[in-house]
């Protein structure tokens, strides 16, 4: 078994932060911003542009707090709220008519449930 729990904790935090940072940075191109806001509007998200930017702030703030260890619990909560909101808005697989899109949406929803599980475990261990 792993002898140094702090190294394992640090590795887990870095993996989670890496996931959210890369995803967030990839979504900051002009085309991706427009695509997200358009999809949010189509999903009837109130104030889709404001909601998009609020999500970006939650995502990057959560990463920064988690990376620095300063109020890491609040950082984890930021990522939990972000993940739940993104899942509800973007991964409604049951609404897809194309079988491939339905399957991809289902996998993405399940992926986000797993991410939430990791965040909850992390929340139990942050100080």
pLDDT tens sequence across 53-63 = 999 999 999 99
Write out the two tokens for 95. Answer: 């609404």
Contact 75, 61 (CB under 8 A): yes
Domain residue spans of the chain: 5-125
Mean residue pLDDT across the chain: 93
pLDDT tens sequence across 6-59 = 888 889 899 999 999 999 999 999 999 999 999 999 999 999 999 999 999 999
- The whole-angstrom separation of Cα 58 and Cα 4 is 31
**Number of helices and strands (H, E) in the chain?**
5, 0
pLDDT tens sequence across 57-110 = 999 999 999 999 999 999 999 999 999 999 999 999 999 899 999 999 999 999
**In terms of Cα–Cα distance, which of 73, 56, 55 is closest to 119?**
73
In a 13 Å sphere around the CA of 5, the CA atoms on its Cβ side amount to 3
């Amino acid at each position: 078994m792993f002898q140094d729990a702090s190294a394992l904790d640090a590795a887990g935090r870095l993996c989670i932060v890496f996931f959210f940072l890369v995803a967030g940075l990839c979504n900051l191109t002009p085309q991706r911003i427009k695509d997200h806001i358009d999809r949010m509007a189509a999903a009837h998200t109130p104030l889709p542009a404001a909601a998009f930017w609020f999500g970006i702030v939650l995502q990057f703030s959560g990463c920064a707090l988690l990376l620095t260890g300063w109020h890491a619990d609040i950082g984890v909560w930021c990522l939990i709220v972000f993940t739940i909101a993104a899942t509800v808005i973007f991964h409604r697989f049951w609404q897809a008519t194309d079988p491939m899109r339905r399957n991809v949406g289902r996998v993405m929803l399940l992926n986000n449930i797993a991410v939430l599980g990791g965040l909850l475990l992390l929340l139990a261990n942050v100080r």
